Amino acid sequence: MADRSLNRDSAALDPSLWGHRWGFQDTKLFLHPDGSVEMTGERYNLCGYRMPYLVPFINRELGVEIDFASARPLTGAPRVTPAARNEDFLATLANAVRPDQFTADDPERLLHSHGQTTTEEVSRVLYEDLDRCVDLVVWPESEADCRAVVAAADTHDVCLIPFGGGTNVSSALLVPASEARMVISVDTRRMDRILQIDRANLTATVQAGITGGRLEHLLAKEGLTCGHEPDSSELSTLGGWIATNASGMKKNRYGNIEDLVENVTLVTPTGVVEQQYSSPRQSPGIQLQKALFGSEGNLGLVTKAVIHVHPLPEVKKYGSVIFADWPTGVSFMEALNRTGARPASIRLVDNLQFRLGQSLKAAPSGRAKVLKSRAEEILVTKIKKFDTHTMVAATIVYEGAAAEVAMQEKAVASTARRFGGLQGGSGNGERGYMLTYAIAYLRDFLADYYVIGETYETTVPWDRIHDVCAAVDRTAKSEHARLGFPGRPFTSPRLTQMYHSGVCLYFTHGLYHRGVEDGDAKFAEMERNIRTAIMDAGGSISHHHGVGKLRKHVVGRVASDESVAAVTALKQAVDPHNVFGIANNIFGA
């Protein structure tokens, strides 16, 4: 049976995308007349049943009564800025690729002019207008196509913006306001093939435009997996993972993107950057390859990579453990990390996010289910004496050989007992991971009713976790009041990755803004202040989303002037005419 909750085998489903919104057209949330919510389609285990608890939970936690009878008006026909034309470039392009590999069609231009940042991109394109759109979209199908497009752009002075899955949440795809040249979006998703599988050494050479969903589907046919599963894995691409220095939820088993890639090929205006051969590890001196991770489209086009692959795991199962409160859960996570027996993925969700997951349940039906639900409630609240408004949960994915998984389960159970943990079962664990895939659809559903939401991720030392959580909560509340938003903010952390010296914290933040003048702009201001507060409290600029244009205001706190000068010199060496004028991170205004 396919694992729908993680969308491991969706090849038979309709791949059509919403476009400006997140995800697939067969999947959306809608409201029934009785106030229950349902997710359409059959892509996830959340689909096809009514959720009667979701709307009451949202109203209660936001401290408002959302008016679901009156939706936020959409832009009737989103404005697409007039296309600039560089006739010399267009003539050269027409001789280099087929006519069906490029278009100046307005809907395609608009689709390729933004990512998924809530206020700066999605809200703008749905409810207002973007300031500037790309002028042309090109779909290369090979590395030779990429070289031809880059050479033509360099010769004729046009700007290229690499485009993968369009899933970034850092405003990385916005056209720089100061860019006067013709701007081309280079969509790599037709470069979606596995070029070679080396079974002896368990590597694969893969074109960089392949999405995570397609990559896993093709590898599964060969009895293999890559194992890199960021939350966006259905839609994001291998090249995008490299460009943003991405992290996957099963990092404990398969590594982050920099761990599982052995070689990257980058096409630049001055030539091709790559290692002459792949190897597990080298010591050849300074390695330019490492600078490509997190390059965010500033240096060139990633065209292919050599990645690690693994036999499909013998066992895959879910688990969960419930703890009395967030500090206890954090202590459990740190203790488990010190044992070295980490499951493929283990995440700690706070009480708000735990209850959000519970609100996605169907109402129990039938005597047996009602009795089971009541028995679970008695065990948690009466026998264990957990407070339903402080308890938290660790949700777990076990993956590997049977003996390995058994060892990890034993380590989790014994460590959990030290901290008073209660085994929550596989169902709650699976539901926790389902929420990962539902949250973006939930964002888009609520956006139509004036609920705006965003996520913030950061790396934090173990001893600063509570400082950062407190700073986010405190800043969100004070800014909410200062800016005049109704109700109260929803701020919820989860601990998603563990390292030797720290963790990744991932915050979900939402609020209701109906009746607030310039609500999107005020939310964006609040967001900037929260990101600053995160860094003031000991968090990093980003764990895996990158900088893009969204975090430019704090990038100076990360890199020294000398570091900036060195990276600028690298840019000058590979792209002296700034063909890749995407202006992310330290580049541009």
CATH of the domain at 159: 3.30.43.10
3-state secondary structure 289-333: HHHHCCCCCCCCEEEEEEEECEECCCEEEEEEEEECCHHHHHHHH
The enclosing domain of 222 has a CATH number of 3.30.465.10
d(Cα 81, Cα 109) in Å, to the nearest integer? 9
531/408 same-domain check: yes
Which domain covers residue 339, as residue numbers?
Answer: 315-537
512/406 same-domain check: yes
Are 290 and 258 contacting, i.e. CB atoms less than 8 angstroms apart?
A: yes
360/461 same-domain check: yes
d(Cα 15, Cα 375) in Å, to the nearest integer? 42
130/221 same-domain check: no
Whether residue 36 lies inside any domain: the answer is no
395/249 same-domain check: no
Q: How is residue 320 written in tokens?
A: 């969960």
SS3 state of residue 433: helix
185/202 same-domain check: no
pTM (two decimals) = 0.95
Q: Write down the residue that tokens 């590898």 correspond to.
A: 219
Whether residue 272 lies inside any domain: the answer is yes
Are 223 and 312 contacting, i.e. CB atoms less than 8 angstroms apart?
A: yes
Strands (E), 370-412: 392-400
285/161 same-domain check: no
H or E element in which residue 268 lies? strand 261-268
Q: Which of 311, 326, 360 is the last residue of a domain?
A: 311
d(Cα 104, Cα 85) in Å, to the nearest integer? 10
What is the side-by-side strand order in the sheet with 261-268? 194-198, 203-207, 301-308, 261-268, 271-273
3-state secondary structure 531-544: HHHHHHCCCCCCCC
237/326 same-domain check: no
Which residues are CB-contacts of 285 (< 8 A; sequence separation ≥ 6)?
none
335/459 same-domain check: yes
Whether residue 235 lies inside any domain: the answer is yes
Whether residue 152 lies inside any domain: the answer is yes
Q: Which of 514, 537, 560 is the last residue of a domain?
A: 537
d(Cα 412, Cα 420) in Å, to the nearest integer? 12
Q: Which of 128, 154, 189 is the last residue of a domain?
A: 189
pLDDT in tens, the chain (589 residues): 234 444 445 667 888 999 899 999 999 999 999 999 999 999 998 999 999 999 999 999 999 999 999 999 998 788 999 999 999 999 999 999 999 999 999 999 999 999 999 999 999 999 999 999 999 999 999 999 999 999 999 999 999 999 999 999 999 999 999 999 999 999 999 999 999 999 999 999 999 999 999 999 999 999 999 999 999 999 999 999 999 999 999 999 999 999 999 999 999 999 999 988 888 888 888 889 999 999 999 999 999 999 999 999 999 999 999 999 999 999 999 999 999 999 999 999 999 999 999 999 999 876 656 555 665 666 677 677 889 999 999 999 999 999 999 999 999 999 999 999 999 999 888 888 888 888 999 999 999 999 999 999 999 999 999 999 999 999 999 999 999 999 999 999 999 999 999 999 999 999 999 999 999 999 999 999 999 999 999 999 999 999 999 999 899 899 899 999 999 999 999 999 999 999 999 998 6
Q: How many domains does the chain have?
A: 3
327/453 same-domain check: yes
d(Cα 388, Cα 324) in Å, to the nearest integer? 9
Helix axis angle for 519-536 and 465-482, nearest 10°, is 150
Whether residue 578 lies inside any domain: the answer is no
pLDDT at 384: 75
pLDDT at 368: 58
Residue type, 286: I
Task: At 240, give phi and psi (nearest 5°).
Answer: -65, -40
201/116 same-domain check: no
Task: At 209, give phi and psi (nearest 5°).
Answer: -85, 0
The enclosing domain of 342 has a CATH number of 3.40.462.40
202/293 same-domain check: yes
Whether residue 338 lies inside any domain: the answer is yes
Catalytic residue numbers, as ranges = 506
First to last CA, the chain: 51
d(Cα 299, Cα 579) in Å, to the nearest integer? 9
Whether residue 13 lies inside any domain: the answer is no
Whether residue 457 lies inside any domain: the answer is yes
The total number of residues written for the chain in this structure: 589
d(Cα 533, Cα 469) in Å, to the nearest integer? 10
d(Cα 418, Cα 492) in Å, to the nearest integer? 25
